[in-house]
Amino acid sequence: MMTLRHSDERGHVNHGWLHAKHSFSFGSYYDAEHMGVSALRVINDDQIAPGQGFPSHSHQDMEIITYVTSGAIAHKDSMGNTEVIPAGEFQFISAGSGITHSEYNPSSSDDLKLFQIWIEPNQLGIEPGYQQKKFMSKDGVQLIASPDARDESFLIHQDAYLYLLRLQAGHSLSYSLGTERSIYVHVIEGELEIDGQHLFAGDAATITQTADVNFNGLEKTQALLFDLP
């Protein structure tokens, strides 16, 4: 079974310096029908103006993944990390027992574009942690986060897997869905066909009760793929 949600159905906020599209309820955007999927709680598609960003704020008991698609993030946190995350890299924070951090666009001329993802952990009060990484670019599925850190992925404290799905135009692949699990797919760019349904940038699909899911790239496509309990 597949449930589609089109890009223009997402929540949208415009704070001048921040244009954000919310896949699930977040901040001032609330929709009781879209509170998340399984342990996946947040996908925010953010565009941040030059020199702007989020001042120091706190998080607790959340697995936070950020994917920079354009520009760079200047990051500083209470664990002593001061980093720059350029386009193409992922940042991973286990907030655990509590962290504070700030995130800014250090450019004086270019917008910063990123996806921020929150996944609820299955362990509370753990020691906070920080990682960032540029993963090898390859077609197919690239594992980004997993509960056992396999294939040099981030170790996430949840029975969940995040993949970056890349397909060239005309290329396809099949993904096997385990028993009593679900898939959530969010298209970043391109056009993706999933079992006959066409998805474009910003569109998403929740898939359950299916053994194999067939993906076909109708254009050069990039998407986030979550395998969830």
Looking at residue 136, its pLDDT comes to 85
Looking at residue 132, its pLDDT comes to 96
Looking at residue 137, its pLDDT comes to 86
The torsion defined by the Cα of 39, 132, 73 and 18, in degrees rounded to 10, comes to -10
Looking at residue 172, its pLDDT comes to 97
CB atoms within 10 A of CB 101: 22
Full DSSP string of 148-203: T-GGG-EE-SSS-EEEEEEE-TT-EEEEEPPTT-EEEEEEEESEEEETTEEEETT-
Q: Which residues of the chain register pLDDT less than 70? A: none
CATH number of this structure's domain 2-228, picked from the four choices 3.60.21.10, 3.50.50.60, 2.60.120.560, 2.60.120.10: 2.60.120.10
For the chain, what's the residue count? 229
Q: Where are the domains of the chain?
A: 2-228
Q: What is the pTM for the complete model shown? A: 0.96
Looking at residue 211, its pLDDT comes to 83
Looking at residue 6, its pLDDT comes to 97
Looking at residue 162, its pLDDT comes to 98
Looking at residue 170, its pLDDT comes to 96
3-state secondary structure of 7: helix
Per-residue model confidence as pLDDT tens digits over 66-125: 999 999 999 999 999 999 999 999 999 999 999 999 999 999 999 999 999 999 999 999
Looking at residue 138, its pLDDT comes to 87
Question: Closest Cα to residue 119, out of 206, 2, 41?
Answer: 41
8 Å CB contact between 218 and 191: yes
